[in-house]
Each structure stands twice: as structure tokens, then as C-alpha cells.
Amino acid sequence: MLLKILLGVLCCVGALATENITEQLSPPQLLLVSFDGFRADYLRRFPMPNLKLLYSQGVLVEQLTNVFITKTFPNHYSLVTGLYAESHGILASNMYDPVSHEHFHINNDSNPMWWNEARPLWISALDSGYKTAAMMWPGSDVTIRNRTATHFLPYNPNVTFKQRVGNVTKWMLGDEKEKGAMFAALYWEEPDRSGHIFGPDNDTAMSEVLKEVDDNIGLLISELKITGLWGRVNILITSDHGMTQCSAQRLIKLDNCLHPDNYTLVDLSPVTAIIPLKDPEAVFKLLDKCHEHMKAYKKPDIPDRLHYRNNDRVQPIILIADEGWTIVRRGDKLPRLGDHGYDNALPSMHPFMAASGPSFRQGYRISSLQSVDIYPLMCKLLSVPPQPNNGTMTHARCLLAAESCWDVPLVIGLVVGVLLLLTAITVLFRFLSSRRPPGSRPFQRLQVDDDDDDDPMLE
């Protein structure tokens, strides 16, 4: 009996001790936030005091090279999978799958078939025994590979930012019954929505919406402070793509080049996806010389760098408009004053990334990073084994406090500095020597300075 009690106590202490150890070993929770359509240079154009405060205590990546096509769904899925669009399967806002003959539209996206080619972090982190949460992130209310995040809400644009943050912090805190979510993703529609309506060049409208976005970041920070999460969790704020100004003077009209009977249109602008009907070669020829500000590619000829070819859902012909040009079927109506989706090499299409928390360096910035690198970074922060992906830790590593990282400009600066100093010393030494009369020995003279300068005995 006594032995049993003793064993029980030992067990209990043992369990408590292990619990403590595991608690200490478990990494900080991670909150990933996306503000849709936050073009990198908004950071320079508008004040954003709360965001600046956040990254002054952490890190800033001034520009993220995102994935083609630079649209919301492809890029949000790349952020949480580390895959190019051709590898995760969410290739556009409108898709057609020639195998299943299904159609995809962002308002009708809940068929898991579209998402199952990848495994987003909110699902793979479940396998590490973690709870996860995803608030209105594209795909978060879809049952992907038979699972969802532990916590999510169906997409509803009417739910305010405050309500989203309220739920996310509640999920991260957990309760007596359930541990807090180790990984949480949070999505917000601005400044994308206003960017489309007013165009990114409208300073009045954009400064208003970016003040709202920054106020929301302030609200997020104060909510994290109130709940005691601030300083304990890692927080990563980023976006999916930028935005560029469009114009009714820059319309490309497909009907001017080709009768609509000749093709099926899957997606329209700024990247058009076309299935030719009768004579593919003839259709391509007409589209190829359709407009000087639009490039036409047959699927096998789509440039490698776009990583937008190896998937059934890439159609036989795609058309890519030059920056600021809009592809329409016909008419003179400009659908959106601002748009995105263009070549991911364009700076106007790039978003940014800021992060802070216990794992990040403080007051550090780099000029650029690939957006597919964010996934392996998040896996490292969470100690979750990464799924096969297209990212690397080579550059992202430098953002972490625990990693020693050569700062190339600093190292070059130091080396150049030391070389200059050595040169200066040599030159000075030569100069001094050249002023000495021949045969004199200045260093030995020092020892005898006050005595007879020229005592030959001392030589």
C-alpha cells in the first residue's frame, strides 16, 4: 500500500517534471497575418506607425518575390505550403480541370479536389500534436485531405477585423479542456479591396485605407498585450501581392483579334487562360499578334521562371498582359482601376513581410526574399517537419535571433576598413621613415631620449 502511494507520488512528480520540460522545449506559438494586396512600397508612401513599431522590434523584408500568377488564392496557398502554383494546384481565381471537368471560382471553392495537391501548414502541424487555427485564410474552410484546422470560421466578409482577432486570440490561449493553437493564420481583405476600386495611385483613398489597416495592426497588438500573448508569440505580418494602376486607355479587346466561337475562356485578366476549339495553331497565331502589350504562350513554351506549366489546370494557351493593361472581351469599360495578377518579376506586384517575437532578431532588415521561403521558416519556428516545398532557409535563416549570419555588406565594410587602416599605417610609417636622416634609429632613441642623444655606446 505504502509502496503504491510512494510510486504514485513519484509518478506524479515525474509527470509534472516532464510536463515542465516539454513546456519549456515547446517553441513559441506562431501567428501569421495577411493583409490582402499590401504592395511593398505602401510602407514608404504612408506613415503606418503601428506596423513600423512592430518591425522596429523585429525584422522587415522590404519586398517579397511572390509566385505567378500574382493573385490572391495562388499566393495565399503558396505562403502556407511553400509551393509554386503549378505544384500546389491553385493556379488562378477561375480554373477548369480537364480531368474531372470541374470548374473553380473563388466564390465556389469548397471542393477539396482543388486543394488536395498540397498540405497547408494548418493541417501538417496537426501531425506534430499541435492545435491549429485559420481565420478566413483562402482554403481554411475547405476539408483538405479530409481535415481542417482545429479552429476556423466559414468565410464571411462581414466579420470585422476585431471579431476575427478576438476569435484568433481566444483560440491561441486555449482553455482547461484544450491547449492553445500553436499555429494560427488570419486573413483581412484590405488594402486589396480599396486598391481595386480607387487604384493604388490615388493617394487620398489609399492613405485612408492604409490608416485603417495600420489601426487594425494597432488593435491586434493591443489585443495580444491584453491577453498576455505579446512578446511570447512570434508574429509574422505579410501579404499575397501588390497592385498597379489600370486605365480605360489600356484595354486589350480579344474580340478584335478572334471570334469568340473559336475558344473557351477559362480566366480573363491580366492572365487569360484559353482552350482553343477547332484549329489550335490558327487560334494561337491570331492571339500571338493580337496586341503589342500582351504576350501569348502555348503551354509548353511558358517560361520556366514563372513555374506555371506543369499542371493539368494550366490551359493550352495563356495570354499575359503588360503591367497596367487590362484584357477584356469587348467594349470600352474598365472593370477595375487597380489590378494585380501580372508577372511576378514586377516590383508593383510584390508585397512585404514583417515579423517580431522571441525567435526573431531585433531591428534587422533585408531587401528581399522569395515568398515560398516563408513556409520553411514557419516550419522551423514551430519545429514541424516541412512537406516537400520550393523554398529554402538560406536567406530566411538570417531573420532568426538564434542563427549567426554573415551580413555581407557589413563584412565587406569591415574588410575594406581594415585594409584602408593597414594602408594608412604603412603610408604613415613610410612617410615618417623618409623624414628621418639616414642611419638614425628612432625606436632606440626613445629609450635614451632624456640622456645624451648621440651616445655611441648605446648603439
Ligand X SMILES: *[C@@H]1O[C@H](CO)[C@@H](O)[C@H](O)[C@H]1NC(C)=O
Residue pair 64/373 in contact (Cβ under 8 Å)? The answer is no
53, 106, 159, 265: which one contacts ligand X (CB under 6 A)? 159
- Out of ligand X, Zn ion, none, what residue 83 binds, judged by CB under 5 to 8 A for its kind, is ligand X
DSSP line for 371-437 = GGGHHHHHHHHHT-PPPS-S--STTGGGGBTTS----HHHHHHHHHHHHHHHHHHHHHHHHHHHHSP
Name the active-site residue from 70, 72, 132, 169.
Answer: 72
**Which segment (34-42, 52-60, 152-160, 377-385) binds ligand X by CB under 6 A?**
152-160
**Catalytic site residue 72?**
yes
C-alpha angle 427/428/432, rounded to 5°?
A: 120
**Residue in 20, 362, 383, 426 binding ligand X, rule: CB under 6 A:** 20
* From the list Zn ion, ligand X, none, partner contacted by residue 330 (C-beta under 5 to 8 A by kind): none
Residue nearest to Zn ion (CB): 192
Q: State how far the Cα of 175 lies from the Cα of 110, in Å rounded to an integer.
A: 30
- Tell whether residue 256 is a contact of ligand X (CB under 6 A): no
Determine the interface stretch with ligand X among 45-53, 384-392, 399-407, 440-448 (rule: CB under 6 A): 384-392
Q: Which does 383 bind (CB under 5 to 8 A by kind): Zn ion, ligand X, none?
A: none
153 or 366: CB nearest ligand X = 153
List the interface residues with ligand X, window 52-91 (CB under 6 A).
Answer: 83-84, 87
Q: Which is nearer to Zn ion, 106 or 159 (CB)?
A: 106
Distance between CA atoms of residues 10 and 262, nearest Å: 79
- How many Å separate Cα 236 from the centre of its chain? 9
Residues 6+ apart with CB under 8 A from 50: 214, 215, 217, 218, 221
Place of cell 612617410: 431
> Which single residue is written with the C-alpha cell 482601376?
337
Backbone angles phi, psi at 454, to 5 degrees: -115, 30
Segment (H or E) for 153: strand 151-153
100 binds, among ligand X, Zn ion, none (CB under 5 to 8 A by kind): none
94 to 133: interface string for ligand X, x by CB under 6 A = --------xx----x-------x-----------------
Catalytically active residues, by annotation:
72
Contacting positions for ligand X (CB under 6 A)? 16-17, 20, 83-84, 87, 102-103, 108, 116, 145-146, 153, 156, 158-159, 163, 166-167, 170, 198, 202, 204-205, 259, 261-262, 278-279, 282-283, 307, 388-390
